[in-house]
Amino acid sequence: MKTRILSACVLVPFMIVLLYFLPVWALTAVMAFVTAGAAYELLKVTGAQSHHRVVFFTMLCAAVIPVFRLMDLGMDAFLACGIILALILFAEGILAYGGKGTPNSGEVFAALFGGLFIPLMLSVLVELKEMPEGRLYVFLPFVATILSDSGAYFVGVSMGKHKGVLKVSPNKSAEGFAGSVVCGILGMLLAGLAVRCCWHLDVKWWPLLLYGLCGNIATQLGDLTFSLIKREHGVKDYGKLIPGHGGILDRFDSLVFAAPVIYLLVRIAPAF
C-alpha cells in the first residue's frame, strides 16, 4: 500500500501538469507511449509477444493513432492504419501457418484490439484537450474513473457483505458496485462545483449527472473487461511499470471505455 501511495503522489501532480498546463502535443506524446505500452502488455498477456514482427507493427500502429488525432486526419487515417495492420497481421499468420511459432487467430485479434481499438478509445483525450474549455473537460474521464474506483474500493472494504456477484471479479461486492456509482456521480458534481467556483463558468448540472452515471458504467465495464482477459490467461497484473499499481493497462483499463463515452457526451451536451 505504501508503494501504491508513493506512486500516486508522483503520478497525480504529473497528470495535472500534463492535462492542464502543458500543450496538447505533450499529451499526444504521452498518449502515444501509453497506447503503445498498453498494446505490448496485451500481447504479452495473450502470449503473442514472441512474434516480434506482430509486436512491432501493433505497437507502431497504436503509437501513431494519437498523433493522427492531433493532426486532425480523421477517420481516413484510422481506416488506413486498420487496413494495413490487418493485412500485415493476417499475412504473417497465413504465410507462417504450419511452422514453428505461428501466430494463431486469437493472437492476431488481440493485436488488432491492442493496435486499433485501445488507441482509438484513449486518443479521444487529445480531442477533448483541443475543445473549448478543453483543459477542464480533459479531466472529467479521470474524475469518473478515479472516484468510481475509489468508491468501489472503500465502500467494498468497509461495507461489502455480498461478494461474488460476478465470477470474473469475485472479491467485488454489490455494495462496492453501488458505492462506485454514487462516488462517480458525486465526483462529477464536485468537479462542476470546482469549475463554477474557481473558473467562474456557467455550469449545467444535468449533463454532469449524465457524465457521472454513464462514465461510471463505462468505468466498471472497462475494469471488468480487462480483468476478464487477465483471469482467462491466469495473470495478476499486466505489467510492473508502475510500482504498486501494475502495468499501463492496470491503470488505464477503466479509461478505455470511460474516455470515449464522456467525450461523446461532452460533444452532445456540454456542461460548461
CB 34 within 8 A of CB 62: no
| Separation CA 191–CA 240 (nearest Å) | 31
pLDDT band, residue 229 (cuts 50/70/90)? very high
Instruction: Give the model's pLDDT for residue 9.
Output: 81
CB 119 within 8 A of CB 35: yes
Element (H, E) at 53: helix 52-70
Determine the distance from the C-alpha atom of residue 158 to the mean position of all C-alpha atoms in its chain, rounded to a whole number: 27
- The answer on pLDDT for 160 being more than 90 is no
Q: Which of 247, 240, 243 lies closest to 2, judged by CA? A: 243
CA angle 8, 13, 19 (to 5 degrees): 115
The residue among 177 and 138 whose pLDDT is bigger is 138
pLDDT band, residue 105 (cuts 50/70/90)? confident
- Cα torsion angle, 43, 103, 101, 91, sign: negative
Q: Which of 226, 244, 257 lies closest to 110, judged by CA? A: 226
- 83 CB-near residues (< 8 Å, 6+ apart): none
Amino acid making up residue 200:
H
Instruction: Give the model's pLDDT for residue 17.
Output: 96
> What is the three-class DSSP state of 136?
helix
Dig out the grid coordinates for 111 from the structure: 493485436
> What is the three-class DSSP state of 130?
helix
Instruction: Give the model's pLDDT for residue 1.
Output: 62
Q: What is the pTM of this model?
A: 0.92
Dig out the grid coordinates for 132 from the structure: 473549448
> What is the three-class DSSP state of 173?
strand
Q: If you average pLDDT over residues 192-220, what whole number do you get?
A: 96
| Separation CA 45–CA 71 (nearest Å) | 32
